[in-house]
């Protein structure tokens, strides 16, 4: 019975909310994140993205236009391989600083990534132990193994995503609050900043239908730029 209970816990559904503000924009981008087994859904008002580790697909659903398209991991990797190679130096530091965010005690972790001496990306995260969040970490690690660690983390855009994603997936806990800054080298000009908050953590059943394409939606072909030109 203990083995069965442990197995059930390991496969528990999990959900949370992610809210991001870019460059101080008052309008935040908020999405619900759902985990069920080897599937993850990211849901906003007009859009749903479903990652399926078993099928190795990413389904993008446009709720406003009632259309969807499907990308395979192979297509995504082909696009990534066509991008210029980026050499990075990276370091992770636990500062020892602690505080509370809401009711959660958190500790600070700082990750700095320097790309070819041109740009430094710093991710300042406040990490907390959140029951059930291991489901998210497990999913991100599996995704990283299959597709590349850059796709396992939504913290940073562009060439920096892979380097930051690789390191963030090695850190335990939930990044309840993260501030990501890109600064040019050597003039230290701020190129961009994103503040991301995680909230509404919930371990509990997630309806399987929330990962499905709604009936009547039309399948379309993805933009060739997303598939490396392949069809």
Residue pLDDT, tens place only, 142-152: 887 887 644 44
Contacts of 47 (CB under 8 A, 6+ apart): 60, 61, 62, 63
What average pLDDT does this structure show over 12-25?
93
pLDDT at 45: 93
Q: Residue 58, Cα to own-chain centre: how many angstroms? A: 13
Structural domains in the chain, CATH included, are 2-226 (2.50.20.10)
pLDDT at 118: 83
82-127 pLDDT tens trace:
555 555 666 678 899 999 999 999 999 988 877 777 888 888 999 9
Which residues lie across from 200 on neighbouring strands? none
Task: Kindly list the strands in the beta sheet with 57-62, ordered across the sheet, starting from the edge strand earlier in the chain.
Answer: 88-101, 104-115, 119-128, 174-184, 190-203, 14-22, 29-36, 39-43, 47-52, 57-62, 67-72, 218-219
What average pLDDT does this structure show over 67-75?
93
pLDDT at 72: 92
Backbone torsions φ then ψ of 15, nearest 5 degrees: -145, 155
Instruction: Write down the pTM of the prediction.
Output: 0.82
pLDDT above 60 (res 184): yes
pLDDT at 153: 39
pLDDT at 88: 60
Give yes or no for a contact between 150 and 167, defined as CB atoms under 8 angstroms apart: no
pLDDT at 125: 93
8-17 pLDDT tens trace:
445 689 999 9
């Amino acid at each position: 019975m203990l083995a069965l209970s442990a197995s059930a816990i390991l496969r528990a559904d999990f959900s949370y909310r992610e809210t991001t503000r870019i460059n101080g924009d008052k309008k935040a981008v908020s999405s619900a994140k759902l985990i069920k087994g080897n599937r993850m859904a990211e849901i906003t008002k007009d859009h749903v993205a479903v990652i399926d580790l078993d099928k190795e697909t990413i389904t993008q659903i446009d709720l406003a236009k009632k259309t969807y398209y499907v990308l395979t991991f192979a297509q995504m990797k082909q696009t990534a391989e066509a991008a210029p190679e980026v050499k990075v130096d990276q370091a992770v530091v636990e500062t020892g600083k602690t505080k509370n965010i809401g009711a959660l005690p958190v500790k600070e972790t700082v990750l700095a990534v320097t790309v070819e001496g041109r740009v430094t990306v710093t991710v300042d995260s406040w990490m907390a132990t959140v029951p059930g969040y291991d489901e998210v970490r497990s999913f991100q690690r599996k995704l990283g193994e299959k597709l590349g660690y850059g796709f396992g983390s939504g913290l940073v855009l562009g060439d920096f995503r892979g380097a930051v994603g690789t390191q963030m997936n090695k850190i335990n806990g939930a990044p309840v609050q993260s501030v990501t800054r890109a600064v040019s080298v050597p003039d230290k000009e701020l190129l961009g900043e994103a503040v991301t908050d995680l909230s509404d953590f919930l371990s509990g059943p997630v309806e399987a239908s929330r990962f499905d394409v709604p009936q009547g939606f039309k399948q379309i072909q993805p933009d060739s730029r997303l598939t490396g030109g392949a069809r």
